[in-house]
Structure 1
């Protein structure tokens, strides 16, 4: 069976040094570039501005971020062809650290540099390479301006963190003009957590074990971001706003939606009233990226349906193997062929408004 074009809804760049060159970045802000340094114990750590961030242990002997496709579009397309991925939606790596920059002007400059570089990368094949704009979340008007500018240079979507930024969670009234602009211009917002350890983050106050921090930060921060968007009334006030939640799996979604529905029923008096059940806003406006090898995917489809789930690889990060991931999902038991078609590409194409009319099914060689 042909499942249609495969859209990887969560892949990454590893931004090369060129991203921060004078071609893209105002060099007055060069000192703010997230960079790797060696500490006094010989460990490689991130430095953002003048802040040295906690150590992140990398898998021994496994450094997929050095794949040429991490920063070279031709090499990435070759990897995509090998794996059977037709389109990639690509997010930053160093850009995850922009959100902790305290200097607003530096943050804006970093976002602009990254977005210009990403637009040039995607221009190599704009049908297959897609990137949302990273927006300076600490300043709402600057975020609006960069979201608009990003759309003007061919970027699709707005990339944000679910964490509190500048002391504001996502339902904060200050964000209302941003949500209105994104909804009006049909720009989806992508929430992506990262265990950068430089922002308010679940687990950071109680664990020094990076495995613990990484395990809890991604799903719990994303669940709270979704809580803000739905039960904070953002999606009710902006019914045309679409949101994408990535890199935390999907197995939690049925539980979290059920719990939100239950709390809206029993504890709705303690919050602003909603016209719909939380799960109804989710089905209307929210998408979640499944890991390619996620064993709870069939359970999730049975619980909440298949219209809001997308497929992701996290290429080239070390969390998952890339080779064989598409074939693995196609062979997954417990999913209908129609569910696989939606999850592998149709849902993400709908979310990002992708024109896939160019795609042709590969020929199957005669036996």
Structure 2
């Protein structure tokens, strides 16, 4: 079975010089993105402390103004990253430019790709930055992405990035997304600046998203400089990475559920990416059978259906190749609510390839496979090509 795949989670790699070109000059002067390069003296120091393990050049460390871009980006993580850096370098370079991005898509049978940031999201959601800086970076990234996708807008689909530092600006930001002709936006699932998705400042924003048929994507990540599941308990990349994506996705769903966003906006579409899908049956079962019936009077205003019914009505979720329990996911929410995303070119997913993808999703029927790899992305993102 040959399919032209719709990649619901593909990434660009933002070249460093884009900020000088697209960012507001005053913001760029006061809060530039800089790199701290490894040098021979620090390498010698590492070798003295760590022996042969420290005898390698570390990747650059990014700084925004005087603030580190990534949280808990320790020396151990940098060393581990340097060990794997070469195997992923060509893919990361390819993602910087639209022509090479398209060539990499051709190599993987990707017909259409929905594009997300790699670094810009870490800047825009950085809790140490003023709201106006976060907003300026989101605007600069979106203008760069618009030019990037203009090379082939039929295949390169922009997913807009929004700043949540000051929620009262969200509707204004959304106006620009709509003016660009884009159909989807990306939000981090975490609490940003102390506010989750149920705060009153979000009410008009959700209504505007529904009115203009804007699909909302939640896409998490590890090492964000904001409270992320696992980051206050662990310092290791292993533990933080295990927690951040799936746990934040589950909590984002609950935030929308208990605050009545699903109930008030039945046509609003949400997707949870790069968190796997196996959490869905367990989470919905727990919400339906333990949490929802416990004290019905506490939730009756905002939750009038079973939590699983809201998910089946309004939510999509991305699968991981080789992930267990996908048959249970289909039985819970249906094959029409599953998406495929490559996460290209990020190193934690480079070993998952589209080669022989039908066998990798061997439990799926031909119709289910076509849903996951093509049809569902068209439905969720409002593809009209």
Q: Structure 2-normalised TM-score?
A: 0.86
Q: How far did 1:329 drift?
A: 4.0
Q: Which residue number in structure 2 is paired with residue 119 of structure 1? A: 146
Matched, 1:99 2:99: no
Alignment partner of 1:319: what SS?
Answer: helix
25-34 or 192-201: bigger deviation? 25-34
- Please list, as runs of the form range in 1=range in 2, the aligned pairs for 1:156-235 lying within 5 A after superposition: 156-235=183-262
Counterpart residue number, 1:344: 373
Aligned residues: 354
Partner deviation per Cα, 1:3-24 (whole Å, 9 max, x = no partner): 4x411111111101232123x1
Contact 1:162–1:221 at 8 Å: present in 2 too? Answer: yes
1:319 matched residue in structure 2: 348
Match of 2:26 in 1: 28
Q: Distance in 1 between matches of 2:329 and 2:272?
A: 15
SS of the residue corresponding to residue 336 of structure 2 reads coil
Q: Which residue number corresponds to residue 60 of structure 1?
A: 83
Residue 170 (structure 2) aligned to one of 140, 143, 159: 143
Equivalents in 2 of 1:215, 1:329: separation in Å? 27
Task: Describe the SS at the equivalent of 1:200.
Answer: coil
**CA distance in 2: counterparts of 1:307 and 1:267, whole angstroms:** 32
What are the Cα deviations for residues 299-327 of structure 1, in whole angstroms up to 9, with x where unaligned?
42234321111001100001112674253
* The one of 333, 338, 353 aligned to 1:304: 333
Change (3 A) 1:59 1:258: farther
1:171-203, Cα deviation, whole Å (9 max, x unpaired): 122211110111111001111111133101111
> What is the SS of the residue equivalent to 2:27?
helix
Task: Please list every run of 5 or more consecutive structure 1 residues that lacks an aligned counterpart in the other structure.
Answer: 357-367
How far apart are the structure 1 equivalents of 2:249 and 2:276?
10
Structure 1 CA distance for aligned equivalents of residues 23 and 142 of structure 2:
10
Q: Which residue of 2 aligns with 1:361?
A: none
State whether structure 2 residue 308 is matched by structure 1 residue 283: no
* Alignment counterpart, residue 46 of structure 1, candidates 57, 62, 66: 62
Higher fraction of helix: 2
Alpha carbons of structure 1 residues 330 and 181: separation in structure 2 relative to 1, 3 Å: farther
TM-score (norm 1): 0.90
Which one of 267, 283, 286 corresponds to residue 240 of structure 1? 267
How far the C-alpha of 1:34 sits from its partner, in A, is 4.3
Q: How far 1:32 moved relative to its partner?
A: 2.8
Q: Tell me the distance in 2 between the aligned counterparts of 1:83 and 1:141.
A: 41
Deviations 1:345-364 (A, max 9, x none): 111111111124xxxxxxxx
1:260 equivalent in alignment to 2:287: yes
Asked whether the 8 Å contact 1:83–1:323 carries over to 2, the reply is: no
Match of 2:53 in 1: none
**Structure 1 contact 293–328 (Cα < 8 Å) conserved:** no
Q: Which residue of 2 aligns with 1:271?
A: 299
Whole-Å Cα distance in 2 between the matches of residues 19 and 225 of structure 1?
Answer: 31
Distance 2:335 2:189 in 1: 24
CA RMSD between the two structures: 2.1
1:12 is the counterpart of 2:7: no
Contact kept? 1:45, 1:54, Cα under 8 Å: no
Matches for 1:72-87 after TM superposition, within 5 Å? 72-87=97-112
Task: Tell whether 2:159 aligns with 1:132.
Answer: yes
**Aligned 8 A contact 1:229 1:235 in 2:** yes
Tell me: CA distance 1:215–1:134, structure 2 relative to 1, closer, same or farther (3 Å): same
Q: Give the match for residue 250 of structure 1.
A: 277
Residues 268-319 of structure 1, C-alpha deviations (whole Å, 9 max, x = no match): 3333532211111111111111123434333422343211110011000011
Q: Provide the rounded CA distance (Å) in 1 between the counterparts of 2:64 and 2:222.
A: 14
* Cα shift at 1:257: 1.0
**Larger Cα Rg: Structure 1 or Structure 2?**
2
Once residues 163 and 341 of structure 1 are traced to their aligned partners in structure 2, the CA distance between those partners, rounded to angstroms, is 32
Q: Deviation at 1:152?
A: 1.4
